[in-house]
Amino acid sequence: MERAGFIGALLVVGAVLFQVWVTVRVFRSRLYESSQKSAQAKLIWLLPVLGAIIAFSVLTSEEQAERRHNNREMRG
């Protein structure tokens, strides 16, 4: 039983660390306005794990789109 508790605690700590990491990435991003950052943070923390996954997916796709856009501008 102790092993299951330890694994459960590791999962909870991992989930919280993931949420903190995504929250920090959202607030450091230049892609969103402050109101959008606040809304993303609420999503992350009010919908644990799933909210962080959604915010991470959106942020990643937005960053990729921004990179593609910047690369096109640099080429011509």
Reported as a single tens digit per residue, the pLDDT across 2-44 is 999 999 999 999 999 999 999 999 999 998 999 999 999 999 9
The reported pTM is 0.84
Distances from the Cα of 31 to the Cαs of 28, 56, 66, in angstroms? 9, 13, 8
23: DSSP letter: H
Domain membership of residue 39 as a residue range: 2-75
What pLDDT shows up at residue 1? 64
Domain count, the chain: 1
Whether 76 shows a pLDDT value over 80: the answer reads no
